[in-house]
Amino acid sequence: MTARIYRPSRNAMQSGKGKSKQWILVHEPAQARKIEPLMGYTSSSDMQQQIKLSFSTLEEAEAYAQRNGIEYSVQPAHDATPKRVSYPDNFRADRKTPWTH
């Protein structure tokens, strides 16, 4: 059974960075999900898929996995590159496309 340690990216629908600073440890599925024939729900008897642990730092998550004998892989964090945008740049004389209203 392996686990994946990652830091989630920020929500694209909002400007804030909530829930994107902590590292998450999730277990990879041990078996495929099955479709229930009566209702069509997908189900699995693997209870490890329901566990989602959060840690403040990557080192804490790795220490937890090593302490409990869990094989893990680490996905590097995706940090956004800040874009410098200035409102007066919209009205510069040397714009590529002229300002029209």
Q: What is the pLDDT of residues 80-92, one digit of tens each?
A: 777 787 888 878 8
- pLDDT for 101 equals 63
Q: What is the pLDDT of residues 30-74, one digit of tens each?
A: 888 889 888 999 888 888 888 899 999 999 999 999 999 999 999
Domain extent listing, the chain: 2-76
- pLDDT for 20 equals 80
Q: What is the pLDDT of residues 7-34, one digit of tens each?
A: 988 777 777 777 788 999 999 888 888 8
Helix (H), strand (E), coil (C) string for the chain: CEEEEECCCCCCCCCCCCCCCCEEEEECCCCCCEECCCCCCEECCCHHHHCEEEECCHHHHHHHHHHCCCEEEECCCCCCCCCCCCHHHHHCCCCCCCCCC
Question: Which residue, among 67, 56, 49, has the nearest Cα to 4 in the 3D structure?
Answer: 49
Query: What number does CATH give the domain 2-76?
Result: 3.30.160.190
